[in-house]
Structure 1
Amino acid sequence: MALQRQSNLEEAKEWMKRLDQEFVANAALRHLDGNIEIEPFFRDLLNALFGWSLKNSNWTEQINQDSFDLDDSVSRIAVQVTSTMTPKKIRDTFKTFLPKHRADYDRVIFIYPFLSKKGSGGDLTSTLEGFDFEPKRDRLDLNNLLQKLQDLEIGQQANALTLLRQELKPLGAALRMGVDQNVEAIIHIIEHISSGVPTRKPEMGPNAQKKLKRFAEHAAYLKRQFTLHVDCFQAVAAARDAVGADPVRSVRCAAWLKERSLAFLDQHNGDARAAFDGLVDYFQEKLHTAGCDCDQPVVRYFLADEFGRCNVFPNPE
C-alpha cells in the first residue's frame, strides 16, 4: 500500500510540475487566457481533494466578476484562481469582495498554478476590516495541493489522479526544447524496466531464427513489427545513447523484459501476437500515466528489436 501511495504521489508531482512549467512560460509571454481555461480544472481538483462543492461563479454571477472565480455556498468558501501573487492583488480582491459578499462567505482562498508562491507581503489588517483571512492558510500553491493529496486514502488519490490525467493530458508532450518526444518516451521505458532487481540472467547467444520457428504461426507478424517500423531506429538508438552503456542496467532491462514477456505469453495462452500487442498496450499506458506522448510504432520497434535480442519471449534455456 505504501508503494502505491509513493507511485501516486510521484505521478501527481510530474503533472503539477508540467502545469507549473506551462504557466511560467505563459507569464513570460504575457499570455493570460490560461487562468480562465484552468478554472474548471481547479474547481474539480479542489472538490476531489477537499470534499467541497465548488461551482464556477462566473457562470452563475456576472461574467468574469473580479473578486472570485469559484464558490461553495454551503461551505461558505470563495476561491480566486490567479497567477498574480502580489499584495496589491489581494488588497484589490478584498476591496471588491467585502462590500458585496462578506455576508455570504467565511473564507476567501487564493489558488496559484505554480509549485511555489511568493510571500503575501505587507500588513492586510486595514484592508480585511476584521474578515478572517490568514495568508499561510488561505493562499495555496501546487505543492500545498500535493500535500493534501498525500493525505488522502488510496481510492480518493486514484480519483484525483484520473482527473489530473484527463485534464492535463495536453501537457504530456515533451516540454524540453529540442528533445524528441519519442526519444523521451523510450528513455522513460528503459528507466522503468531497469528500476527493479533482476530475477533472471539475460540469455547468452540470442537465436532469433530459432525463436521465429518457435512462433511459426505468428512469425510473419512478429517480423513485420521490426521491418515496418525500422524508421524508428534513430529514436530508439538515441534513447539508448542518452541513458548510456551500463552493464547493470542492461542486465536489469533484459531480466525485466524476459520475465514480463513470458507472463504476457502465459496470459494469452502462448499466442505470441496477442502477447506482443499486450506488451505494447502496457507500455503505452505507462507512458500515458507518466505524461509522455509517444508514437506507437516506436514502442513496437523497441520491443521488436528486443525480441531479436531474445529479451522478449526468450527461448527456453
Structure 2
Amino acid sequence: MKRQRYYNEISEKLEILSHRIKTNGKLNVLDLNIHAETFYRDLLNNVYGFKLESANVSSANMAAIDLIDSENKLVIQVSSTATKQKIESTLKKKKTSDYALENYSIKFIFIADEVQSLRSKKYANPHNIAFSPQEDIIDRVSLLTSISQLTIGAYSLVYDMFIKEFGGAPSPLKITSNLATIVNLLSEEDLDEGGLPTKLNHYNIDEKIIYNELDIIKETTINEYIPYYSKLDRIYKEFEHEGKNKRVSVLRKLTSFYEKELCRNDISNVEKFFNVVSNVEEYITNSNNLNDIEEDVVEMCVRIITVDAFIRCKIFKNPKGYNHVAS
C-alpha cells in the first residue's frame, strides 16, 4: 500500500533528523535547529491545517515563541530540550501573558526526544493561557500518529514535502524494468487527443467485461482507457525493435501480477483488477529507470497498460471465441 511506503519514508527521515539534532546539540552546533524550525512550520501546516508563520519574522528574536498562527489564535514553541522546566519557563514569560489576553492557545513541539512522560505532569500556568498537556505537547511519535491518520491525498502531500526537503535515497533493491520504459514512453505521448481508430471488437470486449463481472468499472475505467490502445500498440511495436521478446516480457509480467490475484477467493474481480493496477504501479515506481514523472501520470499510464492487457487476453478469463482484434 502507498500508505506503508509513505510512512516508512517519513518516519525514517524524522528519526534521522531527530538524531542529528541531538548529536549536534551535544557539540553546541545549533544551525540545524534553525532550519528544523522552518521545516516543522511547513509540516505542521500540512498535517494539522494550521497557518503558522515564523514569529521571528515579524518580531526579531521573539522570546519563547517560534511559530504563530494569527488566524487560529495559536502560538508554538519548537525545542530540542524536552523538560518540564522548559515548558513552565515559557508559560511564565510576560509575552505569554500578552497572548493569553488575546485568547491564544499554546503548543510545544519537541523535535529531538519522545515526551510521553511530560503529558501526564501538571504545570504552573500563571497566565492561564489555553494549554492542555495531553493535546498540546507534540513529539515525533504523536506527529507520526497524526500523519498516519491523514487521507491518502493529504498523506501524499506530506510525503512529497519530505522528498523535496530530504531527497529520496535510491533503494539498492531497485532494478531496471521494461514496464518502466513503457511508462516513460507512454507519458511522453499527447494523451489529450485520445487514440486513433482501431479494429477492436467492442462487442467481444463488452462480453468479456460481463463474463468477468467487471461491469461496475466498465465506463469509469475500461472504456475510459480503451481509446489509448492504438498509442500503446505503436509503442509496443517500436519497443520490439530495441530487443527480442521485450513486448512479450512486459505482457508476461502483467500476467504474473494477475496470477497472484487468482489465488484469492475472498475478493471480487473488481478488487483483483485494481490490485493488479496497484502492484504494477509499485513495481514500476521501484524501477531505477523510471523517469521523473508525476505520480498521477504514472498511475494513468499503468491503467492504460492494464486495460490493454485485459483486451489482449493477458489478464482475466476470456469467453468462448473471444478475439480482441476481430472486425
TM-score normalised according to structure 1 size: 0.55
Question: Which residue number corresponds to residue 197 of structure 2?
Answer: none
Give the number of the structure whose alpha-carbon radius of gyration is greater: 2
Q: 1:107 matched to which residue of 2?
A: 105
Supply the distance in 1 between the matched residues of 2:58 and 2:26 (Cα, whole angstroms): 32
Contact 1:19 1:168 in 2 (8 A): no
5+ long unaligned stretches in structure 1: 174-184, 194-256, 287-317
Shift of 1:84: 0.9
Tell me if structure 2 keeps the 8 A contact 1:78–1:105. Answer: no
Deviation string 1:243-301 (CA, Å, 9 cap, x unpaired) is xxxxxxxxxxxxxx6xx33663676713649x9xxx99942779xxxxxxxxxxxxxxx
CA contact (8 A) 2:100 2:130 kept: no
Take 1:95 and 1:136, find their aligned partners in 2: how far apart are those partners? 19
Aligned pairs, number:
198
Shift of 1:158: 0.9
Mapped contact 2:97–2:127 kept (Cα < 8 A): no
CA deviations 1:40-82 (Å, max 9, x no partner) are 2111111100111111110012x12122111111111101111
Higher relative contact order (CA 8 A, sep 6+): 1
For the 8 Å contact 2:13–2:166, the answer to whether it is kept is yes
State percent identity of aligned pairs.
26
Give, in angstroms, the shift of residue 36 of structure 1: 1.6
Q: CA RMSD in A?
A: 3.2
Q: Name which of 84, 89, 94 aligns with 1:92.
A: 89
From the superposition, tell whether residues 20 and 263 of structure 1 become closer, same or farther in structure 2 (CA, over 3 Å): closer
CA distance in 2, matches of 1:93, 1:271: 69
Q: How does 1:34-113 map to 2 (within 5 A)?
A: 34-61=32-59, 63-96=60-93, 97-113=95-111
- Report if the CA contact (8 A) 2:6-2:159 is conserved: yes
Task: Sort the Cα spacing of 1:38 and 1:135 in 2 relative to 1 into closer, same or farther, 3 A.
Answer: same
Aligned to 1:139: 137
Unaligned runs of 5+ in 2: 183-234, 247-283, 292-327
Once the two structures are TM-superposed, the CA of residue 155 in structure 1 deviates from its matched residue by 1.1
SS for the counterpart of 1:81 is strand
**Structure 2 SS opposite 1:130:** coil
Note closer, same or farther for the CA distance 1:130–1:28 as it changes in structure 2 (3 Å cut): same
1:270 is matched with which residue: 226, 231, 240?
240
Compared CA separation, residues 105 and 36, structure 1 to 2 (3 A): farther
Q: Partners of 1:282 and 1:85 in 2: how far apart?
A: 41
Q: Which amino acid aligns with 1:153?
A: T
Q: 1:189 aligned to 2:186?
A: no
Shift of 1:122: 5.6
